[in-house]
Amino acid sequence: MKLLRFGMPGAEKPGALDAQGRLRDLSLLVPDFTPDWLAPERLRALAAIDLEKMPLVEGSPRFGVPVAGVRQFVAIGLNYRKHAEEAGMPIPTEPVVFTKALTSLSGANDDIVLPDGSEEGDWEVELGFMIGTTARKVSVESALSHVAGYCLANDVSERAWQIKRNGQWGKGKSFDSFGPVGPWLVTADEIPDPQTLGMELSVNGVVKQRSNTADMIFSVAQIVSYLSQFMTLLPGDVVITGTPSGVGLGMKPPQFLRKGDVVSLHIDQLGTQTQKVV
């Protein structure tokens, strides 16, 4: 299933896409998509709904974050070999982990709001996933059983704050609007192998990033297992898994986001995002 939340910020309703890609309103059956709805038994109940009998949503509503009440927003850095090379960093021997503020989460097509004085805003198309069941010290072999589904994400970054302000990445990654996620969550049963997904990002129609999740240094299963060794992953947690080469910082000369730019990104099966920079 493709699960989503639609409507204005703070007033989103739960929905899903039917077999024809039409938006159906599930609010008659589900109060909202919260972390408890990502449990396997709840997802099976949602899959049993006859979407053709649910109200059809007309027009083009806003998409919110697919699940409300996210409790942790975890990110992996330098997880594509060519991206590590363009950043001038050694290839990691273990996943590089940082966190983004929960307040950075935003809808898939919401504006990217650059902070005052921003000169080095940057883009990063990433595969994201959401945890469905608590993961604590799990094996690589069992790790994917804890994943409820996958989503598209843009790890928007302000490089000056990330790199030049005492090197704490979270500072450059946590501004409001710097975590677009969605437009929907594709349940894991529809993506048996998350390491086969093509991905692309363009700015003002010019392709900047094009790659495939097969090029990730650490797979989704390895990331889940690794994180769970030192932190408990909770239902509803969002993890984004790194970006391929082609970020603005890595270009010669560097290219950064400016007011009026339009960023578009896509991952196979996970949909498309389009954000205006303001």
Per residue in 259-278, pLDDT (tens digit) is 999 999 999 999 999 999 99
Please check whether residue 239 lies inside any domain of the structure.
Answer: yes
User: What per-residue confidence (pLDDT) applies to 156?
Assistant: 98
Please check whether residue 22 lies inside any domain of the structure.
Answer: yes
As a whole number, the mean pLDDT across the chain is: 96
39 plus 86 within the same structural domain:
no
Residue 200 to residues 102, 203, 240, 265, Cα–Cα distance (Å): 25, 10, 16, 6
Q: Is the dihedral of CA 182, 1, 188, 132 positive or negative?
A: positive
Q: Is the pLDDT of residue 167 over 90?
A: no
pLDDT tens-digit readout, 17-37: 999 999 999 999 999 999 999
82 plus 214 within the same structural domain:
yes
Please check whether residue 129 lies inside any domain of the structure.
Answer: yes
Give the number of domains in the chain. Answer: 2
pLDDT tens-digit readout, 79-124: 998 888 888 888 899 999 999 999 999 999 999 999 999 999 999 9
105 plus 243 within the same structural domain:
yes
Please check whether residue 212 lies inside any domain of the structure.
Answer: yes
Q: What amino acid is encoded at 15 in this protein?
A: G
Please check whether residue 209 lies inside any domain of the structure.
Answer: yes
Contact at 8 Å (CB) between 261 and 255?
no
Please check whether residue 58 lies inside any domain of the structure.
Answer: no
What integer is the mean pLDDT of 193-210? 98
191 plus 251 within the same structural domain:
yes
CATH of the domain at 115: 3.90.850.10
Please check whether residue 164 lies inside any domain of the structure.
Answer: yes
pTM comes to: 0.96
User: What per-residue confidence (pLDDT) applies to 148?
Assistant: 98
Contact at 8 Å (CB) between 4 and 63?
yes
46 plus 157 within the same structural domain:
no
Q: Domain limits at 124?
A: 73-276
Instruction: List, edge to edge, every strand of the sheet that includes 198-203.
Output: 206-212, 198-203, 262-267, 271-276
Of 83-97, 165-179, 222-236, least confident by mean pLDDT is 83-97
| Token couple for 77 | 């850095």
User: What per-residue confidence (pLDDT) applies to 76?
Assistant: 97
109 plus 220 within the same structural domain:
yes
Q: What are phi and psi of 112, to 5 degrees?
A: -90, 120
pLDDT tens-digit readout, 203-215: 999 999 999 999 9
Q: What's the residue count for the chain? A: 278
16 plus 79 within the same structural domain:
no
17 plus 100 within the same structural domain:
no
105 plus 134 within the same structural domain:
yes
168 plus 201 within the same structural domain:
yes
